Structure 1
Amino acid sequence: MLLSRRQFAALPLGLALPAGARLAATEPASLAQALGKRLPFGAAVTAAQLRDPAVAAFIAHQFGMLVAENAMKQESLSRGEGRYDFADADAIVDFARQRSMPVRGHALVWHHQAANWMFTDGAGEVSRATLVARLERYIADVVGHFRGRVFAWDVVNEAFQFDEPDAQTDAAGMRMSTWRRIIGPEFIAIAFRAAAKADPDALLFYNDYESQNPKKVAAMRGLVRDLRADGVRIDGIGHQMHCGRVWPKLADVADAIDALAAEGLRQHVTELDIALNDTLTGSAVQAATPELLQAQAQRYAELVNLLLSRRDKVSALLVWGIADAYSWLLGWPQPRFEAPLLFDTRLQPKPAYHAVLAAARAAQ
């Protein structure tokens, strides 16, 4: 059975550290410290991970910036119009602030893990005016709740779709999500305006996967220009960077970074992982062989070296999960083996960790 990212989020994966998994007596060098201000380094976390003292200590040591993997998405926060459960999200933000770790907010508007009540009322699907009002209130409430505690928001996530089978888009390549269908393409501008009003000091990002695709780069540049022409503030682009072992081409990533920098945008790599399979959705790999781990390490090193060479354009790097035991790829697009992160299921450094550490030290 294929699982969507929404369905995967409900699975009980990675909620507790595997039996016997604890930090080594001597902690490995901190990647956050090694990369330092040249490329601030962070990870997606859950509140459950922070409740385990050993895992929390590992996170505080290795990462210098946090983002909530799911706790700040609509489905997690919203309990109906004007009603919220901020417990897990606040736990992550409080943990970070106690350690002077900046927090990214993810994500205010997405076609997955949305709050389904927004789209319906007693008569069926809501009107455009009702959905706009609900969206504006939601963003005002959520961004307002975290005002001054979250330094950057992924305001809109994955609004464009290119070169995918059965994609349903408009003529500009915008995904025909419920947001797009009911409100129209203006839902993006509405969301950015609401976020800017709720926290004028927060950085506002558009975030997407396959952001090196030239079609998506062109769409994002067009979006930025349209928003700015209408007086809407957008500060940056988030590159998710869910990579396969041999994809995407580094030259395409470099070209995308350079093109978006030409628009005067900040850029973050927001969700990096590198699958052992050749492609992100592959399932041929059944074990983490030494050869695959070395190939993965080389790939991480190449990408981090590229980002360090463009440190004037890319100002943050976050991996999507703290270690292999917690990776979303264990259940997407179906349950399978994967090991895409820098630390293994026991929080021990992999060859990829050593490769990134070496790249960071070489750049000092």
Structure 2
Amino acid sequence: MRALPRLALAALLAAAPLAVVTAAASAAEDPTPITVLTSDFEDGTVQGWTGRSAETVAHTTAVAHGGTGSLAVSGRTAAWEGPSLDVFGVFKKGTAYTVSAWVRMESGSDTARLSVERRTGGVAAYDQVSGGTAVSSGAWVNLTGRYTLATDVDFLRLYVETSSTTGPLHIDDVTASYVPALPVQTDIPAVKDVVTEFPVGVAITGAEIISEHGELLNRHFASVTPGNALKWDATEPSENTFTYAQADPLIAYAKANDLAIRGHTLVWHNQTPAWVFTGADGQPMTATAEDKTLLLARLENHIRNVAAHYGTDIGVWDVVNEVIDESQSDGLRRSTWHTVTGLDYIRTAFRVAREVAPHAKLFINDYNTNVPAKRDHLFTLVQRLRAEGVPIDGVGHQVHINVNWPTIAESEAMLAKFVPLGIEQQITEMDVSIYTNESENFATPPADRLLKQAYVYRDMFALFRRYAGEITSVTLWGLADDNTWLDTFPVTRKDAPLLFDTRLQAKSAYWGVTDPARIETSPSPSTPSSSTPTPPSSCAIAYRVTASWPGGFQGDVKITNTGAAPLTSWSLTWKFTGGQQIRQLWGGSHTQALGTVTVGNAEWNGSVAAGGSVSVGFLGSWTGANPAPAAFTVNGATCTVL
């Protein structure tokens, strides 16, 4: 999985009551941040800001977030064009900066984010600092995120971009600051020394192999998974042009520090460049013999190059990722891979991976495998393919969960299901969100949520140890809370899903894994209910496009129960008028008949309290235009469109 621009993923989070926020998250009190950048535009100048292209930037007093001045940006001809500031020499390698900017549109609305462009030897790369955040002309909106420069560069610029529109915008009160790093704790036991039944690892980016992060990684963990650096868009961005600039430093670091390596991932429906699914005629591929032959040839060529590049350095590969969709009658995701080739892309991927990497263990990896329908479809698929001789060595369970969901019984059923197949099982992307629904947003993680999280880690690791004969590794999807994909998915907010906090200090969750006796009092669990859908007395819908690219887009729909009674389940309907098609949806199950889309809740998010909200996200395709739906219903009742 997973980090944006990674786009579709594990489940949205189960609904539960909001807890009272009373305590801060950190294991240590944060000192006053040291500010390295301030742009307040109060001196009548642009303070060094320029456009990324031919757009115009100018000081203005027409609107301001603070004081009387701001920066006006106009003449944008592309969504990625916007105000830009040179931060080369300001941001130091290995330091984690908190970057903040206030943004508003001059008219209309869009989704905006903070990004960084960096260049080394003239080769450009792009990093996202803040997740996409809805902005409009009605009010100033804060974009904020954390950024660590992990490589040597000769060019570094901070900029603001939008998702789809090119209208004028304003920025103000831009700051960047950092809190001096704390030493890595050396008076606590190493995770890898306590958990000896199987190796425990983490997903990494370049930020995790430098300075204190590298020290924490080496002290506690036995294996690593490059989170995004081995995916198709990173390794073969254009046909037959392979690059390993992102992955090579991570692999070299792992080898130098005796860390085992999991390769993630050779085949996935996301983060795959558009050219892969473009036929020889320049058109999107369809289920023709010619397109099938071409697509399988591209797949084989990709695997032969990428897997061969690393040879025996990588001992485990996630060969195919997220191929199950339990909403389909046969349980198979209707990705372009499947539409064009059926199951042959899976057969080809495993066959070629075995030929190129005969030493490696080959896995099929998926999320929500604790959900019975998904678990059963995955079991059936693996059983069928292995009976055909497809060399599947193991099943990967991502285990993106939260403090209320799933139960230990559901997780045990997930593991027990695959025991009769006699294959390996691995926990591949584990994290435990402190949030239980999409409407929650904590300034600092509440003490009761951190306590619940510690008990979840305790109970899950106890379960994994009971199945030590089946589980051959456990990987956490991140090293510490300062760098987690959950900060931007399913919505932008600070999460705290891992064992170490934002200053790399051990949390209660760490003690849940290493010494549960150190955890304080356990809170009471809560369980959402489900029943037959009933019409809400009133509802409101917020529909937005959160990212857009040629031929495709990402969106989400937020349902707010504005009535006095809770919903115990829901069915959401809208109609696309521009020929858009949903290709993948998370947070529920969907059907589409021509333009009409119907989405039903998942078993874990059907309960929506009065005043509460729940969201679904999706990936779609479009041509020509992408108009927003004009009307929505929930359980047959017409909703207000926000």
| TM-score, scaled relative to structure 2 | 0.52
Alignment partners' CA distance in 1, 2:294 and 2:359: 28
Q: Summarize deviations over 1:87-119 as a string: whole Å, max 9, x none.
A: 221111111111221100001111111122211
Q: CA deviation at 1:235?
A: 0.4
Distance 2:373 2:7 in 1: 26
Counterpart pick for 1:307 among 450, 464, 467: 464
Measure the CA separation in 2 of the matches of 1:93 and 1:233. Answer: 25
Give the secondary structure class of the aligned counterpart of 1:147.
helix
After superposition, residues 339-358 of structure 1 pair within 5 angstroms as 339-358=496-515
1:59 is paired with a residue whose SS is: helix
Amino acid at match of 1:16: T
Q: CA deviation at 1:304?
A: 0.6
Deviation, structure 1 residue 74: 0.7
Distance, in Å, in 2 between the alignment partners of 1:286 and 1:42 is 29
Q: What pairs up with 1:104-183 in 2 under 5 angstroms?
A: 104-120=262-278, 121-126=280-285, 127-162=291-326, 169=328, 171-183=329-341
Q: Give the ranges of 4+ consecutive aligned residues of structure 1 lying more than 6 Å apart after TM superposition.
A: none
Distance 2:499 2:185 in 1: 19
Higher RCO, 1 or 2 (CA under 8 Å, sep at least 6)?
Answer: 1
Secondary structure in 1 aligned to 2:463?
helix
The residue type paired with residue 186 of structure 1 is: D
How well do the aligned residues superpose, as a CA RMSD in angstroms?
A: 2.2
Corresponding pairs, count: 350
- Which amino acid in structure 2 is aligned with residue 161 of structure 1? D
Write the distance in 2 (CA, Å) between the matches of 1:195 and 1:65.
Answer: 21
Q: State the partner residue of 2:195.
A: 35
The C-alpha deviation readout for 1:208-257, integer Å capped at 9, x for no partner, is 10011121222122111221222211000011000011101111111121
**Identity rate, percent:** 33
Q: Unpaired segments of 5 or more residues in structure 1?
A: 164-168
Name the amino acid aligned to 1:41.
V
Q: Quick check: 2:366–2:396 contact (8 Å CA) kept in 1?
A: yes
Q: Distance in 2 between matches of 1:202 and 1:25?
A: 35
Alpha-carbon separation, structure 2, partners of 1:289 and 1:298: 15
- Whether contact under 8 Å (2:208, 2:479) holds in the other structure is no
Matched-pair contact (CA < 8 Å) for 1:74–1:113: yes
Residue identity opposite 1:328 in structure 2: W
- State which of 217, 222, 246 in structure 2 corresponds to 1:64: 222
Distance in 1 between the 2:417 and 2:517 partners? 25
2:313 partner SS: coil
Structure 2: distance between partners of 1:235 and 1:360: 36
The letter for the 2-side match of 1:128 is K
For 2:207, the equivalent position in structure 1 comes to 48
Is 1:188 the counterpart of 2:189? The answer is no
Shift, 1:79, TM fit: 2.8
Q: Is 1:257 matched with 2:421?
A: no
Match of 2:400 among 230, 238, 242: 242
Alpha-carbon distance between aligned partners in 2 of 1:328 and 1:269, rounded to the nearest angstrom: 17
SS of match in other structure, 1:87: coil
- Alignment partners' CA distance in 2, 1:21 and 1:183: 50
1:323 maps to amino acid: A
Partner Cα separation in structure 2 for residue 109 and residue 24 of structure 1: 37
Structure-2 residue corresponding to 1:204 = 362
Aligned to 2:121: none
User: How far is 1:283 from its partner?
Assistant: 3.0
1:3-14 aligned at under 5 Å gives the runs 5-6=6-7, 11-12=128-129
**Which AA in structure 1 matches 2:201?**
G
For structure 2, the 5+ residue unaligned runs are: 9-112, 114-125, 130-144, 150-177, 286-290, 519-642
1:282-313: CA deviation from partner (whole Å, max 9, x where unpaired)? 63444312221111101110111111111111
Farther-moved stretch of structure 1 (128-137 vs 282-291): 282-291
Corresponding position of 1:83: 241
Which residue matches 2:182? 22
Structure 2 counterpart of 1:309, one-letter code? R
Q: Which one has a larger percent helix, Structure 1 or Structure 2?
A: 1
- Alignment correspondent of 1:330: 487
Q: Identify which range, 321-330 or 284-293, moves more after superposition.
A: 284-293
| Letter matched to residue 311 of structure 2 | R
Give the aligned residue type for 1:305.
A
Q: 1:289 and 1:221 mapped to 2: Cα distance?
A: 38
8 Å Cα contact 2:379-2:418 kept in structure 1: yes
CA–CA distance in structure 2, aligned partners of residues 328 and 78 of structure 1: 23
Secondary structure of the structure 1 residue equivalent to 2:192: helix
**Is the contact between residue 181 and residue 503 of structure 2 (CA under 8 Å) also seen in structure 1?**
yes
Q: 1:274 to 1:137 in 2, by over 3 A?
A: same
Is the Cα–Cα contact under 8 Å of residues 239 and 268 in structure 1 kept in the other structure?
Answer: yes
Partner of 1:297: 454
Give the deviation of 1:48 after TM superposition. Answer: 3.3
AA aligned opposite 2:190: S
The DSSP-based 3-state class of the residue aligned with 1:253 is helix
Task: Give the distance between the partners of 1:23 and 1:77, measured in 2 at CA.
Answer: 35
- Alignment of 1:221 onto 2:385: no
Aligned partner letter, 1:133? A
Residue 426 of structure 2: aligned partner: 268
Give the distance between the partners of 2:223 and 2:506, measured in 1 at CA: 19
- Separation (CA, whole Å) in 1 of partners of 2:229 and 2:147: 13
